[in-house]
Amino acid sequence: MKSTSNNSHVILTGVLVFALLTVGLPQLGAQTAEATPLSKELATSCDHSRTVHVSGTAVINVAPDRALIQLGVQSNGVSPAEVQRQNASAISQVKASLQALGVAASDISSDNYIIEPIYEDYDSLFIKGYRINNVLAVTLREVGKVGDVLAAAFGAGANQVVNVDFYTSKLRSYRDQARALAMEAAAQKAQALAEAVGSKRGCVLSIAENSWSHYSGWGSGRSRSQWTQNVVQNAPTTGGEGELADEGPVSAGHISVQAEVDVSFSLEE
């Protein structure tokens, strides 16, 4: 009898659980049905059938705040030991002259070092001497001192200027500014086009971006495309708002940081 009673309790418990699940399922189904229309509304909030595609471009002209100077010290001698002594002495004097102008020792490094034999003539195997080409890379944090650095280096024993490259240490920041200006230009253009056909600019559907920078100076010319862009702006410098620095006998020119975006917007009634 006790066993029969226990079985009855088990069966009764199962029936109750089934009944509770049966009552709860319609409510769960109702919650799911209520969430579905909201998801569809979010998915269709932007009209993909009517779009306007525009481009925006911005150029920021930046005064360089760094210069990378590559100075060559070429030495010749009748033996490897002699040419090495001559070159080491000249390099030491060049470094000392640069440090006297305030260039830190950590900003002076060897960029290239080659020692090679000098033959009597092109077809000869007779070696008449040896030559060392030693190139120093100098990072200059005061671009107005480029002329002074070159004069001091040559006075101390340097005999080649391999390259002088101006750049900015804040390139990432200027690129971000150019992107923001390019997006603003694209949005304004899209709004004007939408209004021209009696619509309004809607949400952003897609964005494609391209950014780069180039140096203008030392005979490199000026990019004609700068004058045909949506936005052209000079970044603030120590010389004043929008003024590009031009210090010393060596003109630093400027760096043009440019960003382009292609943006698709939806059109609203």
The pLDDT assigned to 74 comes to: 96
The residue with greater pLDDT, 97 or 58, is: 97
126 lies in a domain?
A: yes
- Kindly state whether residues 156 and 186 are assigned to the same domain: no
127 lies in a domain?
A: yes
105 lies in a domain?
A: yes
33 lies in a domain?
A: no
Report how far residue 87's alpha carbon sits from residue 83's, in angstroms, rounded to the nearest whole number: 6
From 148, 167, 186, give the residue that closes a domain: 167
Q: What is the value of pTM for the model shown?
A: 0.64
Return the minimum-mean-pLDDT range out of 104-113, 207-216, 259-268. 207-216
Report how far residue 92's alpha carbon sits from residue 106's, in angstroms, rounded to the nearest whole number: 14
Q: What is the mean pLDDT of the chain?
A: 78
16 lies in a domain?
A: no
- Kindly state whether residues 132 and 178 are assigned to the same domain: no
- Kindly state whether residues 59 and 174 are assigned to the same domain: yes
* Residues facing 67 on adjacent strands: 140, 166
| pLDDT confidence bin for 190, thresholds 50/70/90 | very high
- Kindly state whether residues 218 and 151 are assigned to the same domain: no
pLDDT one-digit tens code per residue, 9-33: 544 444 343 443 344 434 433 333 3
Report how far residue 227's alpha carbon sits from residue 223's, in angstroms, rounded to the nearest whole number: 8
187 lies in a domain?
A: yes
Give SS3 for 115.
Answer: strand
The helix-helix angle for 146-156 and 80-100 (nearest 10°) equals 150
Write the CATH number for 190. Answer: 3.30.110.170
Domain span holding position 201: 51-63+170-268
pLDDT one-digit tens code per residue, 220-253: 444 434 333 455 556 554 444 444 555 556 667 7
